[in-house]
Chain A
Amino acid sequence: MSSLFGTLWTAKSSLFANQLALQTSSNNVANAGTKGYSRQRVDMVESPPETLPYGQVGTGVTVDSIRRIRDQFLDQQFLRAQQSLTKTQAEHDTWSQIEAILGEPSTDTGLQADMDRFFTSLQDLASYPTDLTTRRTVLEQAQTMAMTFNRLDTDLDSLTRNLETEISGRVAEANDILKELASLNSQIQAVTITGNSPNALLDRRDLLLDNLSGLIGVSRFFRDDGTAVVTMSGGGGVVLDGVTAATLGTQITPATDSYDLTLNGNVVTPTEGKVAGLLASRNDPTGYVKYTRAQLDTLAGTLIAQINRIQAAGAGTAGVQSSTSQTVVADPTAPLAGAGLPVPLTVPGSFGVFVYDATGAVTASGTVNVTAATSLNDLATQLNGLGGLTATVSAGRLTLSAPAGSTFRFANDTSQALTALGLNGVFTGTDAGTIGVNAELMSRPELLATGYPDPVTGAVGGADNRAALDMVAVGQAKLLSGGTATLADFYGATVGVVGARTAATANLAESQDLVVKSIDTQRQQVSDVSIDEEMTDMIRFQRAFEASSKIIQVVDELLNTVVNGLIR
């Protein structure tokens, strides 16, 4: 049976519900700028009606739940799009850093300019082989070029180290997130089993999942108890199951020179996310840092071998007093042909040696034969046997010296032994990281070969520029890429590849970014707080609250009428 107190009760339920709705709106407004916050709604339902003989009458309103507005399907889409984007961005960052290190195209700095200057200075040397200043210029340019190679190699090496540091930093970040997710899972489970919705915790977990996915690329599903199970994309394994978080780590695998991600101690290869991009940048042997370094090494190696080959059997205006091989041979008694020298030997082959006195007359000469069985010690024995030269082997290196006042020159090396051992070369080292200019030549530029000794008499012409011309020809010869590219072409193509990859990853990242943005906009449409909306709601709830208050006032007056009016 209906009563005034019943009406009072109905009005009170409205006051409570609308006040709660106002508080929720207030919370929405307060968190309008909070990252990861989903707007909340108070779901109100009618209270069960009271059945009277003449029909049912309502008893007010009750709050069913406070719900966050969120579309899990969009979340999943966002994860997928974003982990591809972060991977591409990481790859793009690496390529553009490599691009910046190369510093091309430039007319006066950079490796291309240095190589151009080296070869044009050689061209000038061919025109003026007797001019000492021109020789110095050639060696200075060689030095500059070698230093540029070294700088590029060092910069690329530090890029590798930076990538490693960043990977381990990102992995630590992912571990922190996983720990927090595990703890959130257990809190969410505790609230969910009581039948309530832990809105703040869910928001926090969704935000962390976004972040984690950006790092290592994950997908997730939710159990009925509210806990999340997180697996790495591409079948990389479970990183979080309920309250158990896996431990991510890094390790170096020296055999393949790779830096790997581990999941509970086992190596895993992430396919998406920033870490996947960073790992590819660090490890991919056909791209990024390793590719660029390998290209530069090939370039430097070819240049060293070609120029040294000419220098070794060439003739400078002065003979060599003493020369020590640059290549260390592990076993001086083992055949050189199988010793893994930087340049392969051509066997059987030979090279000539001429010894000159102070006036330039030949005092001794001979031919040294190199066969498949020749060891470093054999070479020394043959050289000693010529008479007039002292050859010694020490710590895997061969040292040749002429007696005081005498000098020697090599001629016509068909075995490549001199180049392979690094005897009397212009350059030292074997690759971009180690290339340098022979210190003996730097201090005595007259040793730089411009001509060749006469193969029979050993006579040397000061104006003979055949060796210089041959060195010039190295710059124009198609030595690389299977005989299709000159040194400059090869480098130009490398720069082109770096540029193309940088541009391609930039374009890919841009289009992926559009996808991520569009999904994020859709998410915002659903979950973001709109101030206008909240203000409208506020007015709505405020009016309802006011109206209910008015009803209470009216009921009060009615009660007053009943209590005070009837007594008199």
Chain B
Amino acid sequence: MRITNNMIADQVLSAITDSRKRLGTIQEQLATSKRINRPSDDPLGTTLTLQFTTATKTLNAFQRAIDAGQAFLRATADPLDHIAEIMVQAKEIGVQGSSDTAQGTRGAMAAQVNQLLEDLLSQSNGRFADRYLFGGTQTAAPPFSATRDAAGQITAVTANPLGTDGTVQAAVADGVRVQTNIPGSTVFSKTVDLFASLVNLRDSLAAEDTAAVVTDMTTVDQAVTQVTDASGTIGAAIQRLDAIQSLNQKDLTRFELLRSGVQDADIAELYVELQTREQALQASLAAGARAMQPTLLDFLS
């Protein structure tokens, strides 16, 4: 086999170029600490990386939606508890008022119920950061407004004519939506009208009409159940969101691990490879310098 000077030069050059190219790849991976820097580095890995990245971002958005939903639900839970207390108190007053021994004290009882009614109205228009809690989807205007007589007593409470029955949901996981509000209509007028029940009880007490008080009592009783039902719904929703949130958190960790496994470079391994490649480059440089140098000319005198 003839070996010519050009062949040696070409071979040396191609060996050096090759070494430098491999060294460049390792240096890029070290600099970015990523194994995949462009799709062709690992096409399937790239697709997976993109999937995991999107999944992570989507999960983070779900978590934020859950936080927002939880905040609103918790803000709703407090006034609901309070409303339940109001109704329970009204019930106790009603029990006392329906007994014959209460003769003569029913006026004071009526005043107490009136106080509870005012309290109920104010709770029904409770707000969380500018949003009315019981407005359904109409959160910008007070959901309930009272009609008062000349003495300033509430005679009736009407709901927002646009409706208080709108539901608001949050997307909290892939394909999962959870209701994050409880519409005013569900709390205040689902089977019985809370306001009307108190107005009637107050009026019956004031009129010393025991029979009517007994009738009103059944309504108030139903109202208590209605409110505790609503409380239960809220509690269940909060718990459900908690559960979903911790599942999401697990998914987040899992996806981050998966992405890292696919995309991130193994630094220790890269350093070892870098060293090997560096030695290879130095070797081909040294070999090239020696192989290209001598010709017969060096030895002819």
Contact = CB atoms under 8 A, between A and B. Distances in A.
Given A499-B43, A535-B297, A459 B162 contact: yes
Q: Which 6 A-B pairs have the closest CB atoms?
A: A499-B39, A461-B137, A502-B40, A499-B43, A127-B68, A496-B47
A488 B54 contact: yes
A528 B2 contact: yes
Contacts of B297: 531, 535
A525 B53 contact: no
A536 interface: yes
A119 B61 contact: yes
B50 A491 contact: yes
B50 A495 contact: yes
B61 A123 contact: yes
23 contacts: A104-B38, A115-B54, A116-B54, A123-B64, A127-B170, A128-B68, A461-B138, A461-B166, A462-B137, A462-B138, A469-B170, A472-B171, A491-B50, A492-B47, A495-B39, A499-B42, A500-B44, A506-B40, A524-B10, A525-B3, A530-B4, A531-B295, A533-B2
Contact of B137 (A33, A124, A451): A451
A130 B139 contact: yes
A439 interface: no
A333 to B, nearest CB: 41
A59 B107 CA distance: 157
A134 to B, nearest CB: 11
A497 B47 CA distance: 9
B60 interface: yes
Given A465-B169, A498-B39, 13 more contacts: A116-B53, A127-B65, A462-B138, A469-B170, A469-B171, A476-B175, A489-B51, A492-B46, A492-B50, A495-B39, A499-B42, A532-B295, A533-B2
Nearest to A107: B53
B4 A469 contact: no
Contacts of B38: 99-100, 104, 499, 502
Interface residues on B, range: 35 or more
A126 B300 CA distance: 89
Contact of B300 (A472, A529, A535): A535
A550 interface: no
B136 interface: yes
A272 interface: no
B138 A524 contact: no
Interface in A88-136: 95-96, 99-100, 102, 104-105, 107, 112-113, 115-117, 119-120, 123-124, 126-128, 130
A491 B62 CA distance: 22
Contacts of A525: 1-4, 7
Nearest to B72: A127
A535 B5 CA distance: 13
A459 B7 CA distance: 85
A123 B170 CA distance: 9
B53 A463 contact: no
Contacts, number: 182
Nearest to B37: A105
B200 interface: no
Interface string A467-507: 00100110110000000000011011101111110110010
A499 B50 contact: no
B146 to A, nearest CB: 22
Contacts of A491: 50
A116 B58 contact: yes
B178 to A, nearest CB: 11
Interface residues of A, number: 64
B2 A473 contact: no
A514 to B, nearest CB: 10
Given A105-B49, A495-B39, A502-B40, A127 B69 contact: yes
A32 interface: yes
Contacts of B139: 130, 461-463
Contacts of A495: 39, 46-47, 50
Contact of B296 (A33, A524, A532): A532
A99 B43 CA distance: 11
B213 interface: no
Contact of B62 (A115, A123, A462, A536): A123
A200 interface: no
Contact of A476 (B41, B137, B174, B263): B174
Nearest to A451: B137
Contact of A99 (B14, B39, B61, B166): B39
Contacts of A531: 5, 295-297
A465 B177 CA distance: 12
Contacts of B3: 525, 530
A100 B40 CA distance: 10
A348 B60 CA distance: 42
Contacts of A499: 38-43, 46-47
Contacts of B69: 127
A529 B2 CA distance: 10
A517 interface: yes
Contacts of A117: 57
A464 interface: yes
A496 B295 CA distance: 52
B135 interface: yes
A521 interface: yes
A330 interface: no
